[in-house]
Amino acid sequence: MLTQDAPKTLRLNVMISEQLIKCLDKTADSLGMSRSSFVRYAIKNACEQSREYALAEAAIALAPLYESDKELTALTVLDGEDFYE
Asked whether the beta carbons of 66 and 72 are under 8 A apart, the reply is yes
Asked whether the beta carbons of 24 and 17 are under 8 A apart, the reply is no
Per-residue pLDDT tens digits for 6-22: 788 899 999 999 999 99
Per-residue pLDDT tens digits for 38-81: 999 999 999 999 999 999 999 899 888 877 887 777 767 666 66
What is the residue extent of each domain of the chain?
18-69
Q: How many angstroms separate the CA atoms of 53 and 45, rounded?
A: 12
| pTM confidence score | 0.64
Residue 20 half-sphere exposure, CB side, CA atoms within 13 Å?
Answer: 5
Alpha carbon of 77 to those of 41, 63, 85: distances in Å?
41, 18, 18
